[in-house]
Structures are given as structure tokens and as C-alpha cells.
């Protein structure tokens, strides 16, 4: 068997294929190397072009969100959307999130499961965002959908904050019962939970003034 001349005259070249690292976003958005969760870096975005993201919930991401929100479990989580350019160098994130969460019952501490699906909207302003004069240290924006534009758009933080706003404040198990409590020294008409509520007190005062 003869060897072709082109193979005899040139050394054999070995081509190795290295698997590309898994990108957690589509359309070229990048992930910061030192961050547990992914973030879109503005330097990778083109000013006149948007980016579509579809967050992959890895185990570290799930653990981070579960811990931050004091959840028992976080399942079937999803967060998809787009980041689009606005005028004057601003950007807008719009998307939808979904998650099945378990929280401790506010009365019995039993697990309470809730399914959440919600729309998310954030606008990132290059110019200073107007802050509320009534917020602590004046750090609360007048419009809670707006925030100051930084070097990155932290998708995990946005998901976590948006999910926290949708969580039940006082999750209650189906078999949980509320018991009323009475307060007061012996010989005095005790106060109940209802009577010490602000609106109940105002109603009683209004009746006395009639």
C-alpha cells in the first residue's frame, strides 16, 4: 500500500476538540467569572441591539436564592426575557419568571407550597435615578422599576428581588387555625386581637364621638 506524496512530505496534524464552556444566556451575553450567578456585562452588548436571556438554574443558583429568601425549597424555576436598548444609553429588561416555592407556615411552621408566575420589568438609567425623599437615607427610587445602570445587569439579583415581591407575606397551611388572644389585668375588660387593631380603635373612637 503506497502512501500519498502529500502525507509523506508534511507532518501529520492532530486536531483536538475542546468542549466550549456552557453559556447561560443566548445571543452572546456573558457571565462574570467570579460570580455564582450569571450577569449580563454591558461591554458585551451592542447599543442598537438587544439580547435574549434564558436563565439556567444551576444548583448554586437555587441554593443562593433559597437562602436569600428564607425558602424551604425552590423548584421549577424559570426566568426568560429580553434586554433592549432605550434612548440615551438606557436599557430595559422585560421578562417572565416562574417558580414553585415552599415556605414555613406562619402559624404551624408546616411547609406551604405556592406556585408563582409573574411579569418582570426593570429600566436601567445611565443618568442619576430620582430617589424618594421619604425613603431611608433617600435610597429608594420614586419608580421601583428603575435603577441606576452599572457595569452589569445581575439577572440572579433581579429574579430574587422580583420573586420576593410575589411571595405570600404570611403563608398559612390549610389545617392551620388562628386563635384569638386576650390581654389585660384581672378585673379589667381584656383587649382582644381585633380591638387593638388601629382601624378597630378608630371605629370605637368615632362611635363615642357621635
pLDDT in tens, the chain (210 residues): 555 554 454 443 333 333 333 334 444 444 443 333 477 877 777 666 788 888 889 999 999 999 999 999 999 999 999 998 888 788 999 999 999 999 999 888 999 999 999 999 999 988 776 665 555 555 555 556 788 888 888 999 999 999 999 999 999 888 776 665 555 566 666 666 555 555 555 666 666 666
Taking Cα atoms as reference points, which of 162, 134, 169 lies closest to residue 147? Answer: 162
Domain count, the chain: 2
Q: Is residue 114 domain-resident?
A: yes
The answer on 204 and 135 residing in a single domain is no
CA distances from 180 to 183, 190, 192 (A): 10, 12, 7
pTM for this predicted structure: 0.63
The answer on 142 and 52 residing in a single domain is yes
The answer on 208 and 114 residing in a single domain is no
The answer on 164 and 204 residing in a single domain is no
Q: Is residue 9 domain-resident?
A: no
Helix (H, G, I), strand (E, B) or coil at 58: coil
Alpha-carbon span 68 to 74, nearest angstrom: 11
pLDDT at 56 (0 to 100): 84
The answer on 130 and 44 residing in a single domain is yes
The answer on 128 and 197 residing in a single domain is no
The answer on 201 and 151 residing in a single domain is no
The answer on 147 and 130 residing in a single domain is yes
Q: Which domain holds residue 164?
A: 22-179
The answer on 197 and 167 residing in a single domain is no
pLDDT at 51 (0 to 100): 84
The answer on 34 and 93 residing in a single domain is yes
Q: Is residue 8 domain-resident?
A: no
The β-bridge relationship of strands 182-183 and 51-54 is unpaired
Amino acid at each position: 500500500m503506497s502512501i500519498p506524496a502529500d502525507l509523506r512530505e508534511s507532518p501529520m496534524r492532530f486536531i483536538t476538540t475542546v468542549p466550549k464552556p456552557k453559556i447561560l444566556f443566548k445571543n452572546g451575553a456573558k457571565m462574570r467569572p467570579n460570580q455564582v450567578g450569571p450577569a449580563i456585562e454591558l461591554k458585551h452588548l451592542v447599543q442598537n441591539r438587544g439580547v435574549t436571556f434564558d436563565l439556567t438554574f444551576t444548583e448554586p443558583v437555587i441554593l443562593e436564592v433559597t437562602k436569600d429568601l428564607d425558602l424551604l425549597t425552590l423548584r421549577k424555576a424559570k426566568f426568560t426575557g429580553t434586554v433592549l436598548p432605550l434612548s440615551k444609553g438606557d436599557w430595559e429588561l422585560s421578562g417572565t419568571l416562574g417558580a414553585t416555592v415552599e415556605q414555613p407556615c406562619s402559624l404551624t411552621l408546616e411547609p406551604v407550597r405556592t406556585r408563582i408566575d409573574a411579569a418582570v420589568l426593570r429600566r436601567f438609567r445611565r443618568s442619576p435615578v430620582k430617589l424618594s425623599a421619604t425613603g431611608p437615607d433617600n435610597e429608594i427610587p420614586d419608580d421601583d422599576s428603575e435603577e441606576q445602570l452599572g457595569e452589569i445587569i445581575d439577572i440572579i439579583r433581579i429574579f430574587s428581588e422580583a420573586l420576593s415581591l410575589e411571595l405570600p407575606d404570611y403563608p398559612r397551611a390549610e389545617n392551620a387555625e388562628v386563635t384569638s388572644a386576650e390581654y389585660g389585668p384581672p378585673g379589667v375588660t381584656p383587649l382582644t386581637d381585633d380591638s387593638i387593631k388601629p382601624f378597630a380603635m378608630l371605629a370605637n373612637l368615632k362611635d363615642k364621638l357621635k
